[in-house]
Chains A and B, each alone.
Chain A
Amino acid sequence: DSGVTQTPKHLITATGQRVTLRCSPRSGDLSVYWYQQSLDQGLQFLIQYYNGEERAKGNILERFSAQQFPDLHSELNLSSLELGDSALYFCASSPRGLVFYEQFFGPGTRLTVL
């Protein structure tokens, strides 16, 4: 158990809908990362937050947005969902915001768009 929690574990929705994925980092970690893992593209970095502020952006679509709240939990919002958004979404946390810190991954949220 990494100490990172993600909810829900599974989510099934329809195209065009909007969903919110939630992540609670390990106690004391200030940085949260979001990743998408699909069968055809592997793992991709989406976005990073550090202590409530956006720190880095990866391949995040404009239809996706995220935020980190004062209690350090984070939410990833996915809107106007398409079939291709079906994937595993992982959240990871690390103590600080720099790339060389170890990241601890949560169990993931499996999103299925029908």
Chain B
Amino acid sequence: KNQVEQSPQSLIILEGKNCTLQCNYTVSPFSNLRWYKQDTGRGPVSLTIMTFSENTKSNGRYTATLDADTKQSSLHITASQLSDSASYICVVSPNTGNQFYFGTGTSLTVIP
């Protein structure tokens, strides 16, 4: 069964600190993995898209890693800001048909 699991479910960190969010998946055969940031009540915004051949991708203070062998990805946020408070969602697609499997997200709160 195609599944995407994210951890932790929620996280509180101090402004300026770094954090790492995890995504494990069983989706197969793998096509790509995306990380989205979703502010409360708004649409998700794409942070990174990674394919099988990519193991690291950065977007400003966000760095995603992918290990396709162990089917794990992480999103590292550096020097967190209050505006990073949001839900971070991992989405995995197989390369058979256009399908999207969503994790339940990690709710990040950055406090001053």
- Taking beta carbons and an 8 Å cutoff, which residues of A are in contact with B? 2, 4, 33, 42-45, 48, 55-56, 58, 88, 90, 92, 97-100, 102-108
Task: List B contacts of A105 (CB < 8 A).
Answer: 43-45
A45 and B102 within 8 A (CB): yes
Chain B contributes a number of interface residues (CB within 8 A of A) equal to: 23
A43 CA / B43 CA spacing, docked (Å): 11
B46 located at the interface, meaning its Cβ lies under 8 Å from any Cβ of chain A in the complex: yes
A2-B43, A90-B43 given; A100·B51 CB < 8 A: yes
Q: B55-112: which residues lie under 8 A (CB-CB) from chain A?
A: 89, 91, 93, 95, 97-105
- Taking beta carbons and an 8 Å cutoff, which residues of B are in contact with A? 31-32, 41-46, 49, 51, 89, 91, 93, 95, 97-105
Q: Give 23 A-B contacts (CB < 8 Å), ordered by A residue.
A: A4-B43, A33-B100, A43-B44, A43-B102, A45-B99, A45-B100, A48-B98, A58-B99, A88-B41, A90-B43, A90-B44, A92-B43, A98-B98, A99-B95, A100-B32, A100-B93, A102-B46, A103-B46, A105-B43, A105-B45, A106-B43, A107-B42, A107-B43
Task: List B contacts of A90 (CB < 8 A).
Answer: 43-44
